[in-house]
Structure 1
Amino acid sequence: MSEIEAFDFQLARIISVIKDTGAKVIGLQFPEGFKRRSLGIASGIESETGTSVIISGNPCFGACDLDVALLNDVEILFHFGHAHLDDNKLSQKVYFIETRSAVDVKDVVKLAVPELRGQKIGLITTVQHVHKLEDATSILREHGKECVICSGDSKIAYPGQVLGCNFSAAREEMCDEYLYIGSGQFHPLGVSLATKRRVLIADPFVNELREVDSSRVLRQRSAVIAKSIDAEVFGIVVSTKPGQERMALAEELKEMAKKHGRNAYVFTMDLVTPDQLLQFKVDAFVNTACPRLAVDEVGRFHAPMLTPMEFEIVLGEREWEDLIFDEITGE
């Protein structure tokens, strides 16, 4: 199946929305994996509607990461690849195009059956495959497995959906293990770290199974904590992205540092990168922006980058064995 066939970009719906609203200036925002399709989609929209289309060239990490500057220049923004976040204050001008996958998951789920050790299986995936969870459930039940698809908190649009920063749909206490349907590594890794349960990845694009191994990440996180134990000056990083901004948490962490006789300063920025932080001479950073930063970019910052929970360990407010994965949760 070609890339064009694999995902539904809902061009007919987009054109219908534009005609119904009478909008003349349209914005398009894509995550990195879909940017290559942007020119064809923009061309189709312009030819069918006569509108002017502006494509966001900024990085996009999720529904939390709307291009706020582009929103000021367009009447409608179509945001691809993510589901609506309930707390997104700018969403009245935004249409979320979830870009569902047409790839069949049945074969890879059948492949997973003999590898599943437990009886009660939690099913999880991204928004691209949530409509396929019923197919997966049918197959597992045919092979004598019990399936659980949990609703998450208010940030989760669909039962069984997980985000890179929110694993609330994987909180079923009675699950023996989880089966993640999708191609990425970070989401199932986050579930493994958050739940301490075995997670098996069923990748429908290459019909392949992989078991999540979180040991390497845990060693990396332990090393970051160890390097920060004697730190005296901390930089607490806050993102200004609409769905990532956690200033209240940053202020709590700053007060916590003060209580323990350490110095802490709050830095705000849109895109958090090693280069952006290079000029700030601190002993360690604490990340309150996208939780993936500390894990994905480990070793790239000039000072250790801690999660809020790791910062608590450094200060003695939390025990090592109580380390949990950072999440941005809802109600």
Structure 2
Amino acid sequence: MAGSEAFDFQIARVIDIIRDTDAKTVGLQFPEGFKRRAAGIACEVEKATGAQILISGDPCFGACDIDIGLARRTDLLFHFGHAPLDDSGYVKNVYFIEVRSNAAVAEVVNKSLEMLKGQKIGLVTTVQHVHKLQEASEILQARGKVCVIKRGDAKIAYPGQVLGCNFSSARNELCDEYLYIGSGYFHPMGVALSTGKRVLIADPFVNEVRELDISKMLKQRSAVIGRSLDAVLFGIIVCSKPGQERMALALQLQDMIRKHAKDARIIIMDLVTPDQLLQFKVDAFVNTACPRLAIDEVGRFNAPMLTPHELEIVLGERKWEDLVFDEITA
């Protein structure tokens, strides 16, 4: 993630909320890329309000991953870096601070025109840059492009926004290709797999436009599937986090596995890591928790980690060419 100075943490708003509610104990929760700012923000807020500030030290993977324990221990919890989902599992004292980017996008969007091949362009990004999509659209349309900023399903707060587990705002059959504004590869990779379309990354932090190449990732997924073809015992991972829990899906997958004369056990846990799974002896895991786990941690588990769609390929229920990205949709 780019330097935190390029983002607006809305400290004045945080201070106002604390003062207005007369909160005495306040929790702060940050995703991994923003944790370097945690101590400084805590100090600033504490000086301005006199409140006792507690910082969540647990991993934070998204709006699905609220530190419920800290929220219950404090008068207020500020969750930085994400927009709220549609889930009703949030406790009422949680405030979402979306942390918008201050990075200018005009130059990199103009630069993308040199690489865009299609006429109808889908624009997508994360919540950090979603307020810049209209500007990007105006730049491209002034040069003759037709831009689409689509509203996603009920889990998506803003048109054009994508999550690490939901690309519904990118599914538009009429788009020729997609322009993703932001840094990193995971979100545009999900767009490419979800749509089957070409994706360009316009990175405003380094002023660079890159064409996404998913061939390496597809080879990795092919290897995981290949290693699972002879699996007899599967461990189906269910995450207990409110925004990630998919027990109904896990039960469906267990039934599917057993119909193929194999066996499966459901493992429920809060934090899913390679170390946490090390002692479970199965032939393959199936991940129903955060879809990023199987992709980001590939090769680190003691057994192959499949997505639900990849399990279907292993069992002969789906063809390889029909592989799509695992998503948590509304």
Alpha-carbon distance, 1:4 to partner: 5.4
Alpha-carbon distance, 1:51 to partner: 0.5
Name the SS for the 1:325 alignment partner: coil
Q: Are the equivalent residues in 2 in contact too, given 1:64–1:88 (CA < 8 A)?
A: no
1:295 is matched with 295
**Which consecutive unaligned segments of at least 5 residues does structure 1 have?**
none
- Match of 1:177, as an amino acid? E
Superposed counterparts of 1:18-33, under 5 Å: 18-33=18-33
- CA distance, structure 1, for counterparts of residue 200 and residue 159 of structure 2: 18
Distance 1:51 1:301, change over 3 A: same
- CA distance, structure 1, for counterparts of residue 226 and residue 312 of structure 2: 13
2:175 is matched with 175
Superposed counterparts of 1:1-331, under 5 Å: 3=3, 5-330=5-330
Residue deviations 1:2-22 (CA, integer Å, cap 9, x gap): 945411111111111111111
Name the SS for the 1:137 alignment partner: helix
- CA distance, structure 1, for counterparts of residue 124 and residue 176 of structure 2: 13
- TM-score, normalized by length of structure 1? 0.97
Q: Are the equivalent residues in 2 in contact too, given 1:229–1:314 (CA < 8 A)?
A: yes
Name the SS for the 1:286 alignment partner: strand
Name the SS for the 2:9 alignment partner: coil
Q: Are the equivalent residues in 2 in contact too, given 1:38–1:55 (CA < 8 A)?
A: yes
- Match of 2:126, as an amino acid? T
Q: Are the equivalent residues in 2 in contact too, given 1:109–1:136 (CA < 8 A)?
A: yes
Q: How many residues align?
A: 329
Residue deviations 1:226-278 (CA, integer Å, cap 9, x gap): 11111000000011112111111111111111111111000011111111111
- Match of 1:176, as an amino acid? D
- Match of 1:258, as an amino acid? R
Alpha-carbon distance, 1:91 to partner: 4.2
- CA distance, structure 2, for counterparts of residue 45 and residue 296 of structure 1: 34
Name the SS for the 1:114 alignment partner: coil
Name the SS for the 1:209 alignment partner: strand
- Match of 2:139, as an amino acid? I
Alpha-carbon distance, 1:171 to partner: 0.7
Q: Are the equivalent residues in 1 in contact too, given 2:82–2:96 (CA < 8 A)?
A: yes
Q: What is the Cα-based RMSD across aligned positions, in Å?
A: 1.1
Q: Are the equivalent residues in 1 in contact too, given 2:258–2:264 (CA < 8 A)?
A: yes
Q: Are the equivalent residues in 2 in contact too, given 1:8–1:100 (CA < 8 A)?
A: yes
Residue deviations 1:110-163 (CA, integer Å, cap 9, x gap): 000111000000000000001001110111011110000000001100000001
Distance 1:300 1:114, change over 3 A: same
Alpha-carbon distance, 1:292 to partner: 0.6
Percent identical residues: 67
- Match of 1:147, as an amino acid? C
Name the SS for the 2:79 alignment partner: strand
Name the SS for the 2:245 alignment partner: coil
- CA distance, structure 1, for counterparts of residue 178 and residue 68 of structure 2: 36
Name the SS for the 1:276 alignment partner: coil
Q: Are the equivalent residues in 1 in contact too, given 2:126–2:182 (CA < 8 A)?
A: yes
Distance 1:306 1:316, change over 3 A: same
Q: Are the equivalent residues in 1 in contact too, given 2:7–2:100 (CA < 8 A)?
A: yes
Distance 1:270 1:119, change over 3 A: same
Residue deviations 1:47-72 (CA, integer Å, cap 9, x gap): 11111010001111100111122122
- CA distance, structure 2, for counterparts of residue 3 and residue 328 of structure 1: 29
Alpha-carbon distance, 1:316 to partner: 1.5
Name the SS for the 2:127 alignment partner: coil
